Structure 1
Amino acid sequence: YKPIVEFIDAQFEAYLQEELKIRRVLHTYHDSRIHACLYFIAPTGHSLKSLDLVTMKKLDSKAHLPFAVIGSTEELKIGNKMMKARQYPWGTVQVENEAHCDFVKLREMLIRVNMEDLREQTHSRHYELYRRCKLEEMGFKDTDPDSKPFSLQETYEAKRNEFLGELQKKEEEMRQMFVQRVKEKEAELKEAEKEVKCGLVC
């Protein structure tokens, strides 16, 4: 499951990096985040493998996982037509037949009806969870040390002010050091000037 999770996280990371830029152009950004993940399980007829369970559990917080779909890559002759279907000892399951499986409903739901809802849910649920974790790693939290909630904007401003304060302090230290060196150099020049004058007079 790791390559799948890493790929989904990489798409979230790319969007986050675009969002954190000083000059953001999200309206023209090609959003490559994953809005739905179709997880195909081998038709063994037995229970799910532990790998399938672990993978689906890991993917649940990363993307939408539609449930219960029968699919097939095989084409069987049913009547006079070749149709996508799966042959079982007890009969034939037609992929395009709504009485047999949910594939047609799923396709309708994903592509025609709920695509925008899936995008919105990806942004507000899965991406926000990823974003919150990443920002917490960077030192931004939704609560202060006393566990009082405050906004991310306030946290950002506080961190920014703290950084600017440190920057001003360093600038002042460098300015003082520069002034000190100038004074030392002036003193050296005056001393050298006195020696030159003394040499000319003497």
Structure 2
Amino acid sequence: MSANMSRGSRRRKHAVSQLNIMVVGFSSLGKTSFIRMLYNTLCVREYSKEKTELPASLFQSSETAQDAAASSTQELYSFTLDVEEEGEKISLTLVDSPGFVRDNELRLDVQVTEALRYIESQFDHTLAEETKVKRNPKAQDSQIHACLYFIDNTNNGLTDKDIRILKRLTARVNVIPVVAKADLLTTTQLANLKQAIKNDLKEHSIPVFDFPVDDELMDPEVEEVVANAQSFIPFSLIAPEDADLSDPTTGEKIRGRQYAWGIIDCLNPKHCDFVELRNVLLSSHRKLFKDITLEVFYEQYRTERLMARKASKMITKEQKKKLLEDLSEI
């Protein structure tokens, strides 16, 4: 019995969990900067077998308007990292997307459709694997488990465009709303904006991820952490600037932004919600994101596809029947 337990422990030790995160939103809201910051806080396993070619955007500054224009994401791309989080191995795929345009309704709809097609194409990979006579036991899970939607902090809540986009996205993926560039708001302004966004989400029945708590299965301490995440929606984010900054009290190097009145530490929970969001994505809710993606979003998509195929075949049969009837009358 002990030998079996030992083998099971070894399997769990070497098991790798897959997690795929996508970022979307209007242009110049810091989507790529978020990916860069997340990457800089990861414990990347350098001994992984496959070497990943990292995108140049991870190492580019965007502090000036010229830098931002040069480093803006022009087309959707993804890259995968082997990371370790709290002793668990994770194959983490990050997907960046071009910023949505603000002044062209037709182009905006096309961009949202392209983002949705990418999400659905990952479902198609799973569906194709399921229909094989002999499935690949090493098939990768490429489904998008969480999608961060960046919200412009200059608006008083959600715009009509935000609402239209979110209604489309939430039908296919776990959406987590985030307030971009929160350092441009006072504490009161940020609190008011968060409440306005919550009110808009409720008023328009937009089902963003609501961080459910399983009272029966969760440890009380974990349950408290998980429940606390709900209070952060939408999460506030601040991207660090490309500069060497040190904490004035400890002298330790920090990732943040310096102003005339002081320094913002992007990893300080008192300054923004990055640490909480990172924990939600990589630790406390990782399995839940994956379960909901597979059991809700994928199953819904799978059902729609299978019904569409059946309907297509039925239409074809009816057309063939009508054609034969027409020919018999000639």
Fold in common (TM above 0.5): yes
- Residue in 1 aligned with 2:130? 19
Percent of residue pairs identical: 32
Q: Which has the higher contact order (CA 8 A, sep 6+)?
A: 2
- Residue in 1 aligned with 2:164? 54
Offset from partner CA, 1:102-132 (integer Å, 9 cap, x none)? 2211111210222122111110011011001
Quick check: which one's strand share is greater?
2
RMSD between aligned residues = 2.9
The gaps in structure 2 that reach 5 residues or longer are 1-111, 177-232, 312-330
- Residue in 2 aligned with 1:115? 286
The DSSP-based 3-state class of the residue aligned with 2:148 is: coil
The gaps in structure 1 that reach 5 residues or longer are 141-202
- Residue in 2 aligned with 1:72? 239
Distance 1:61 1:21, change over 3 A: same
Distance 1:45 1:88 in 2: 23
Deviation of 1:50 after TM superposition, in Å, equals: 2.4
- Residue in 2 aligned with 1:131? 302
The DSSP-based 3-state class of the residue aligned with 1:40 is: strand
- The answer to whether residue 117 in structure 2 is matched with residue 6 in structure 1 is yes
Distance 1:44 1:17 in 2: 43
Distance 1:82 1:108 in 2: 21
Deviation of 1:37 after TM superposition, in Å, equals: 0.6
- Residue in 2 aligned with 1:63? 173
Deviation of 1:49 after TM superposition, in Å, equals: 3.0
Offset from partner CA, 1:13-33 (integer Å, 9 cap, x none)? 1111111122222x3111111
2:117 corresponds to which letter in structure 1?
E
Offset from partner CA, 1:35-79 (integer Å, 9 cap, x none)? 001112233254333222222221112111224222324357553
On the 8 A contact 1:75/1:83 being kept in 2, the answer is no
Q: Which has the larger radius of gyration?
A: 1
TM-score normalized with structure 1 length: 0.58
1:7 corresponds to which letter in structure 2?
Y
Distance 2:277 2:126 in 1: 27
TM-score normalized with structure 2 length: 0.37
On the 8 A contact 2:239/2:266 being kept in 1, the answer is yes
| Number of aligned residues | 140
Distance 1:88 1:64 in 2: 35
2:241 corresponds to which letter in structure 1?
E
